[in-house]
Amino acid sequence: MMEAVSSVLKDVAGVVQSSSVATSAPAAPQAARPSLGFDGVLEQVAADAIGSLKGGEAASVSYIQGKVSAQSVVEAVMSAEQTLQMAVAVRDKVVQAYQEVSRMAI
């Protein structure tokens, strides 16, 4: 499952890096408030998604070892499943938007 998520996130990152969309910088100084571009936001979301998936896997292993209850495993796995569904939906929307832009007449 981790390989599938990593693949999805790499695809999304590749599309974002290949696009030439400029982001506007905030008026605040860079040292006071770091600004994240679209690629930075996606990277942060991807890292959170991978963390959630790893948490689900760790909960499953802990249950097998008898360290956690079945309820906490189900909660962690359901959270990981929702995260995976969100990552796939975001990937689909990014690809759809990229295709729309590529079909535009110049």
Express each pLDDT in 40-78 by its tens digit.
988 998 999 999 999 999 999 999 999 999 999 999 999
Inter-CA distances, 58 with 28, 67, 76, 79, 99, Å: 40, 11, 9, 13, 37
Express as a percent the part of the chain with pLDDT over 70: 68
Report domain extents, the chain. 2-13+37-103
Among candidates 81, 44, 43, which has minimal Cα distance to 59? 81
- pLDDT mean over 23-41: 63
Give the pLDDT score at 48.
93
Confidence of residue 18 (pLDDT cuts 50, 70, 90): low
Helix ranges (H only) for the chain are 2-18, 38-64, 70-103
What is the C-alpha to C-alpha distance for residues 53 and 56, in angstroms, rounded to an integer? 5
Q: What is the pTM of this model?
A: 0.60
Confidence of residue 85 (pLDDT cuts 50, 70, 90): very high
Confidence of residue 97 (pLDDT cuts 50, 70, 90): very high
Q: How many CB atoms lie within 10 A of CB 50?
A: 16
